[in-house]
Amino acid sequence: MRIGANCNDLFVIVFLTRSVKTPCMLQITDLTYRIAGKLLLDNASVTVPDGHKIGIVGKNGAGKTTLYKLILGELESDDGNIRVRKNAVVGQVAQEAPGGPETLLETVLASHKEMNALNAEAETCQDPDRIAAIHERLADIGAYEAEARAASILSGLGFDDAAQRRACSEFSGGWRMRVALACTLFTQPDLLLLDEPTNYLDLEGVLWLENFIRNYPYTILIISHDRDLLNSSTSAIVHLEQKKLTFYGGNFEKFEKTYREQRELQRAAIKKQTAEREHIQKYVDRFRYKASKAKQAQSRLKMLERMEPLAALAEEHTVQFNFPNPAELAPPLITMDKLAVGYEEGKPILRNLSLRIDMEDRIALLGQNGNGKSTFAKLLSDRLKAMDGSIVRSRKLGIGYFAQHQTDELDPNGTPLTHLVELMKGKTTTQVRARLGVFGFGVDKADNKISTLSGGEKARLLFALMSFNAPQMIILDEPTNHLDMDSRQSLIHAINEYEGAVILISHDSYLVEACADRIMVVDKGTISNFDGDLNDYKKLVLTKKVGPPKKEKKEKSVKPQKKTGDVELKKMRADHKEAEKQVEFLTKEIKKYNKALTNPKLYNQKDPNAAKALRQFTKEKADLETKLEKVEELWMSLEEKINA
């Protein structure tokens, strides 16, 4: 019997952790916004259903982050309305990463303001009714499992138990941004806004986040250019294009197909209308001054005026990357023998590296952040020296190295033009500008200060500088951060057209799958070849088996003889599993009754219905506890037999 059955409405107890949901979480109506005179949103409207996981997509600069700021109230629109469901909590990742003396676990727990306020009040409160209400609310928001949940989130984002108990100030900015993400995920807002959350994650962290988003019980809006994340985790896409918002049901793959089909239909309609207008115009031009046809010509002229011209399709301008092909060198490009490398004398991060790299290699370097992927990239690019062992490079080997932190090395007062002029001494300004144009720096961008460029523009400039001398090897450390979807596709094309060796470090599994034909895993202080493809690696990550699979020795298979004991064992295991399920179910039901019995209304002695409901709940709870005791005895008995 369910709790509250056969009781009047006063005592029907509903176990909800949130207020009853309405169909709509967010309503944007005729939203218009300008920034510095530039129109970003023009009468844009969209409805976000409650509980959906929505991907927000659009080109860089379209206004996606601005839209978030409008939803959060950080910016004020010129016109239109934004309505969030009443009493809904809206959350986003903090712009500044936490960096105090508190441990990571303490920092995450402290982020839940309501929980901490209630815990503090519970320590001093004297009113029994208020105490009951506090504990009921604490149970609703999961306060009693808070530490375990916070630890689980931190673990999923790459922090082991020891790291969780270290101070935030001990970690780099990228790792602290993960803590900021953990804080937001822990508070579980009704409407969660995520803006490129995978930029600071490794592939392992991205896979965990995909699963977290899928199972998140409330509404999420996520700005991302990660195809796999949008395909695996979202239930709908909102496309920001031409200052409008358009809702598409389904994941990114479905959106892309629908969008492409719509554009083809629109092209066909424009082509048909253009032909029809030209045909009518020719008739008018030919006969408008001929008396016998003047009336018909005037009629067609009016028809032409009434014909509403279809809106032209937006110009699909995408930067086309191009890495110049290098002069071929005899293999190998690099060989290593029992090499060790690190940052401090006597403390290598990577050891026992024995490998070779040839021009045709396309290597994806995978493994958790902090294991040494970037250390290996710096070793290859000669930015770190070997501490032990040997490394031999081809004499004429050129290496292009890209990493996001290199943006700090750019002169903020310089321009793309001045940076490339340094590399192209003796070349004309026209030649330098032509080279910049290949990477999307036309006359409107080439002379802009570096300090005014977006993250994507700085990345494109680094690509241009890195590849200028046509190196035989390019090392790309997280190259897709800050690139939009079209630019990522262009980068994939450029990598695949390039004829030198490629070392790729990326959390973007779509990029890895499209460009790499060999996987190497950085784990436990060394690097080894992975015997499998990216899907095999993902399976290992998801089953907590990070690292290359060990090949097992093949043994001659011996067909087992069926025995009576085997059948009995199989049945015991099935019964054991069923008993375990019953234990879990009954435990949860008893927990519900315990929570229900904290309701102070049940103890109102002046109301006879209250006493009746209290007796009923107490009896039903006792019956469940009796059942649980019997099932637990059966479960333990079967476990002993199976172990024996």
Q: What is the mean pLDDT of each run of 10 residues along the chain (644 residues)?
A: 35 35 82 90 94 92 91 93 92 84 93 92 88 88 89 91 91 87 93 91 90 92 92 94 92 90 80 75 69 64 65 57 89 93 84 93 91 92 91 93 83 89 83 83 85 84 89 94 86 92 93 92 92 88 51 39 62 79 79 75 73 78 84 76 72
Specify the pLDDT at position 288.
64
The whole-angstrom separation of Cα 523 and Cα 373 is 9
Amino acid at 120: A
- Cα separations in angstroms, 439 against 172, 180, 323, 421, 494: 31, 33, 10, 15, 11
Q: Quote the CA–CA distance of 384 and 345 in Å, as a whole number.
A: 12
pLDDT at 290: 63
- pLDDT at residue 185 in the model: 94
**pLDDT at residue 555, as a whole number:** 38
Q: By CB neighbour count within 10 A (0-12 exposed, 13-18 middle, 19+ buried), where does 617 fall? A: buried
At 187 the pLDDT is 92
* 429-438 vs 455-467: helix crossing angle, rounded to 10: 120
pLDDT at 552: 35
In the three-class reduction of DSSP (H, G, I as helix; E, B as strand; rest coil), residue 583 is classed as: helix
**Residue type (1 letter), 115:** M
Specify the DSSP element, H or E, that contains 229.
Answer: helix 227-233
pLDDT of residue 470: 92
C-alpha atoms less than 13 angstroms from C-alpha of 432 in its C-beta half-sphere? 19
pLDDT at 293: 59
CA angle at 571 for the pair 570 and 574, rounded to the nearest 5°: 90
Question: What whole-number distance in Å separates Cα of residue 374 and Cα of residue 504?
Answer: 10
Tokens found for residue 102: 């508190």
Record the pTM.
0.69
- Report CA-CA distances (Å) from 271 to 12, 71, 275, 278, 309: 64, 39, 6, 11, 11
215: part of which helix (H) or strand (E)?
helix 203-215
CB 596, CB 617: distance < 8 Å: yes
Distance CA 332, CA 392 (A): 9
Task: Round the CA-based radius of gyration of the chain to a whole number and report it.
Answer: 32
- According to the model, what pLDDT value does residue 365 have? 95
pLDDT score recorded for residue 4? 37
Alpha-carbon gap, residue 468 to 419, rounded angstroms: 12
User: What's the pLDDT at 67?
Assistant: 95
Report whether 33 contacts 75 (CB < 8 A): yes
Torsion region of 546: left, alpha or beta (phi above 0 gives left; psi -120 to 50 gives alpha): beta
210/225 Cα distance (integer angstroms): 14
In degrees, rounded to 5, the angle at the alpha carbon of residue 414 between the alpha carbons of residues 408 and 417 is 115
Is 367:373 a contact under the CB 8 Å cutoff? Answer: yes
CB 238 within 8 A of CB 56: yes
Neighbours of 643 (CB within 10 A): 6
Which of helix, strand or coil describes residue 38?
A: strand
Longest pairwise C-alpha distance within the chain: 109
Q: Which pLDDT score, from 0 to 100, does residue 141 have?
A: 86
Residue 449, C-beta contacts closer than 8 angstroms, at least 6 positions apart: 412, 413, 414, 415
CA distance 225 to 432: 31
> What pLDDT, on a 0 to 100 scale, did the predictor assign at position 280?
72
Torsion of CA 603, 608, 612, 615, to 10 degrees: 40
